[in-house]
Structure 1
Amino acid sequence: MGPFLSDYKNNDASIFKHCVYNNEQDILNWLHDDDVLILDRGFRDTVRAMKQFGFQVAMPSFLNGRKQFSLEEANLNRCITKVRWIVESVNAQLKQWKYFSQTILNSSLCFLSNYIDITCALINAYGSRCVQDIHSGSEMATQMLQKCQTTNPVQLRLLELLETKLQ
């Protein structure tokens, strides 16, 4: 989709909301009710809208004045960040190409999709892979989810010490 004009109102979140509300390129048929949208904090303004469309949203939490996340929040943030890392890595690979690391002229926009396709093909053919073993992803995800379910032994010990001190 796109390109979209760049101004102070056209951030990623407002563009995404526009695409969903207007069903740009039939986007609502790409997404399913059980899909989880993994978003960064820049999309915080879209969360309510995405939930209204029936999508699940995962986004790192905000501290909101607190000094520390709970164990559950910290673990969930780690899982979300791990998934988003691959997206950011691919974006970084594209931006290593001089053409994509600078402002692109409007007159070139009609060719932009082709340029991205060619660049991605070159990266896939000759560049280093962000993920070497694509099959290890399921195993890693399972391990991370298991670790999220386990209790933190340091936290348990601190609670024990606190209880004995209070007695």
Structure 2
Amino acid sequence: MNALPNIVDSETGQGLPRYDLRVENHGPSDLEFEIWQIPYNGTPDVKKPLRISGLRGRNLALIEHRVLRLLAKAGIHLGGLNIQDQARYALNEDQALNLGLLFRTLAPMRNRENMPMVADGIEAMGKEEAAYWLGMAMHRKYPRRVLMALRFLLIDPKARMKD
């Protein structure tokens, strides 16, 4: 596979972090999405590809339409992916941060009613806020606590009280 082109910020001339979306089709209605940070001279601390997050199965099925819509806005279409095929796509930093945080936050969730509220909140986040929460979830001693706090903030308590 050809190397992805170097990405340079047009304003500062600095190298931006590079991210890949890796998609694998395991079978009918069984996609797996993973976000990876790729080594680059703009990120000297990343020596080998670093997995940011991934999602597959039931939790992905609940938000797959959202993910596909976000990818379509980025010009990524997965229509021609056959069973057992893998594909890699370059993502910009904003897309990678939002998708990475979305996947990392939803992966351990079990409550189907709360997942759309969490997904809505993460989609509405700006780049800085998503970067903050993803950084906290990746580099803290207890990342599950950070993700639980984020879910707690994004879930509307009024919607939970209706039951």
Is the TM value for this pair above 0.5? Answer: no
Q: Which has the higher helix share?
A: 1
Larger radius of gyration: 1
Compute the TM-score of the two structures, normalised by the length of structure 1.
0.29
TM-score scaled by length of structure 2: 0.29
Larger fraction in strand: 2
Greater relative CO, 1 or 2 (CA 8 Å, sep 6+): 2
